[in-house]
Each structure stands twice: as structure tokens, then as C-alpha cells.
Amino acid sequence: MSILQIGAGGVGWVVAHKAAQNNDVLGDITIASRSIGKCEKIIESIKGKNNLKDSTKKLEARALDADDIDALVALIEEVKPGLLINAGPPWVNVSIMEACYRTKTSYLDTSVAVDLCSEGQQVPEAYDPQWAFREKFAEAGITGILGAGFDPGVVSVFAAYAVKHLFDEIDTIDVMDVNAGDHGKKFATNFDPETNMLEIQGDSFYWDNEAWKQVPCHTRMMEFEFPNCGSHKVYSMAHDEVRSLQEFIPAKRIEFWMGFGDRYLNYFNCMRDIGLLSPDPLTLNDGTVVQPLHVLKALLPDPTSLAPGYKGLTCIGTWVRGKKEGKERSVFIYNNADHEVAYADVEHQAIAYTTGVPAITAALQYFRGEWADKGIFNIEQLNPDPFLETMPSIGLGWDVLELDPAIPPVINTLNK
């Protein structure tokens, strides 16, 4: 057995560490990225932390342009991985899936191929480019596991667990995500500022009474008491798993919510008001043409630089309301991740950690034959039990909190 990992950013960093810690099952590891230096830096960190469990297995870096399908095919044919783990940026998903199809190689990723905010790439169409591979993957006799991060990812496993064990009938599914940690900077983003700022600006889509509803960002808000993190304001946002949950789990309303502090939103609004969040070309007095968003990216701290000093917890979970045996029920199934614990384990922060740990947890299910059917699967379609049994040993615990079923979500509509 062996894996080929594409991508050496923050998520790639954690995936590689976790793969190394589990290489007795996963086998040889090859990490490929446009920048081989980034792969080598990860390998150095893995060795420095003594995270390579079986030191007789290979751990190698390769340079690769993942947009180049022929180069990808050549690398796959050389490495012959049992599973390709895609930890690259979303826009390479489709070319990697095509290369997997051509080489009959199983595939796993952690987010959709689209930007979720441009016309035709929004939530209702989010999985179309990847679901188009369903028949091809089944025909090739390979497995494709889509959206195996935390959100998308574990939050959908929580929903599947709720369907299997806790509810007879589901009314609402609210995915809740807050980062209550502090990186000590006045303003910084936890992942690529360009991706982050585009995602946050996009309209939110939620499923409500058999139809998609579209609203501007930051116009639907609620306050939620997060276990061990206190009360936070969360805002309805476009997110991948709203689409897949809507496909596979019947519910009246399905929505994704992300916590933003007033301070974060103040910076965001100022930057948006002056035009700094625009991807459109801007001509300076001297004729230089720049994208304002690229200027912002160069101004802000590199997200990977935040990890060493990061303190505090994240809380991400799935709030499910419905009925069990005729009675109303409300549960919050969640994880708390600790930035400092993540750093001690893999020298990265909890945002990347909560995405990378589930990817390897899912990879282990694939290699154990639990999640190895032929075809394309979103993670909520698969048996949640072995996954949730494994995840704590890979680094992320989880818990079920019973809430008062008489208290519904109180959603506030805000002016843009």
C-alpha cells in the first residue's frame, strides 16, 4: 500500500504528518506540489517531530503542476499509489480526478472544485463537475471520496450518524463553525487570503422547504453557545456540504454558519468598502495594473506563519433537530480542537489540523475496506460508525450534546 499526496499548503502539511504517523497502514508516501521546496519543508518537519511511524517506508517529495493531466498521469504510473489524496487548491480537483480515472487510481479530497461565489460555481452547482465522474469511476472499478475534511467532511458524518442512531425524522441541519482561537495579529486570515475573502463575499445559499434560498453574505445571523468556546455570532455562508447534505439527507432546512467576531467583520467591511477585496484589475497612476486582492494577500501575514503562537479552541459541529420515537429532539454533535495541541503534534494550527485529520481518518477507512465501494461518494453516504470510532485516535475527539428541543434557532435578518 502507498499514497500519493497532491498539495503542500496548510492542509497538505497536516495530511502528510498524519499519513506519516499512520504509515504502517498507508505505506509509502509521495508528496507532490508545484513547489518541491514546500514538500521538502513538510518532510523536514515530519522527521524533526519523529512522526514517521514505520521508518522503513518511503517519504518523498516531487515537483508537479497538478493542472497538467499528462504529468499527473505519468507521476501516478510511476508511484502506483493505492490512493491519491488531493490536498491541493479546489481548482485542480477535476484534472486530478481525470488522471485518476485514466490510471484506475482511487481518489480522496477535502473540498469542492468550484469557488462557491462566481456565477455557475455556487452551492446548487457546487458538486456538478465532480459528480460528473460517477459512472467513470464505477466503470474503472475505483473509489472516489469527496469532501473528507471537517467542513465539508466530519460535519456530514455527524449528520449521517444522527440519521442512523439519533433521529427517525430530521427537521433542520445547521452546520456551525467557530474559531475562538487568537493568533495575536490585528488582522489575518487562517488560510489563503484570496480564497478566504472571495468565499466570504459570496452570497449564501441554504435549502429551505424544497428550494434553494440565496441571500447576501452576513445578512442572516444567529448567536450560538458553542461547547467550551462560549457564545458566538455566526453568519449564514455558502459552503460545500450544504449541497451534498441536501442531496443525501432529507431535511426541511439545511444551512452553514460561520462565526465572525465584530472586529473581524469591521476589517472585512472596511476593506470591502474601499475596494480592496476586488479581484478586478486596478490601474495605478504610473500605469501598473494590479488586482487589489493580490495586494491584500501580499500585505497580510502568511497563514502558515500564524501557527506557532496560536492559542485557544475551535468548535465545529452539526446541530440537528427533528424527532425520535415521536418526541422532539435537538442535538449538537461537535469537536473542539486546540491550536496549541495541534502545533505540538504537527507544527501547524487547528484550522488546517481539523481538515487534515479527517482526510487521513477517511483514507484509513478506504484501506481497511470500510469505505471502498466502487464509484463516487460524498462522505455522508458512507457508514459513519467506523470513521467516528477511528477519528479520536488520529487526533480529533467528538461528542454529542443534547439540547433543549423547545429552543429553535433564532435567525436574525440583517441589512446589507
Interacting residues with its own copies (CB under 8 A): 186-187, 266-267, 270-271, 273-276, 282-286, 288, 290, 292, 294-300
Distance separating the N- and C-terminal Cα atoms of the chain: 52
- Which value, to the nearest 10 degrees, does the dihedral of the CA atoms of residues 323, 327, 330, 334 take? -70
Secondary element (H or E) of residue 341: helix 339-346
Task: Return the number of the residue (228 or 266) whose C-beta is nearest its own copies.
Answer: 266
Q: Are strands 313-324 and 327-338 parallel, antiparallel or unpaired?
A: antiparallel
Task: Return the number of the residue (141 or 275) whose C-beta is nearest its own copies.
Answer: 275
Task: Return the number of the residue (268 or 371) whose C-beta is nearest its own copies.
Answer: 268
Task: Return the number of the residue (113 or 300) whose C-beta is nearest its own copies.
Answer: 300
Task: Return the number of the residue (270 or 344) whose C-beta is nearest its own copies.
Answer: 270
Report which of 4, 306, 24 is spatially closest to residue 16, judged by C-alpha positions: 4
Report CA-CA distances (Å) from 241 to 219, 249, 275. 20, 11, 30
Rounded to a whole number of angstroms, the minimum distance from the CB of residue 188 to its own copies is 9
Rounded to a whole number of angstroms, the minimum distance from the CB of residue 41 to its own copies is 18
Rounded to a whole number of angstroms, the minimum distance from the CB of residue 347 to its own copies is 24
C-alpha cell at position 231? 457564545
Task: Return the number of the residue (209 or 285) whose C-beta is nearest its own copies.
Answer: 285
Q: Are 45 and 17 in contact (CB under 8 A)?
A: yes
Rounded to a whole number of angstroms, the minimum distance from the CB of residue 50 to its own copies is 34
Rounded to a whole number of angstroms, the minimum distance from the CB of residue 265 to its own copies is 11
Rounded to a whole number of angstroms, the minimum distance from the CB of residue 72 to its own copies is 23
CA torsion sign for 167, 170, 171, 177 is positive
Angle at 341 (CA atoms; ends 199, 392), nearest 5 degrees: 85
Q: Are 279 and 293 in contact (CB under 8 A)?
A: yes
Q: CA 239 to CA 118: how far, in whole Å?
A: 13
Rounded to a whole number of angstroms, the minimum distance from the CB of residue 378 to its own copies is 33
Q: Are 91 and 7 in contact (CB under 8 A)?
A: no
Task: Return the number of the residue (297 or 324) whose C-beta is nearest its own copies.
Answer: 297
Task: Count CB-CB contacts under 10 A for residue 341.
Answer: 14
Q: Return all residues near 328 (Cβ < 8 A) that are at least 6 apart.
A: 321, 322, 405, 406
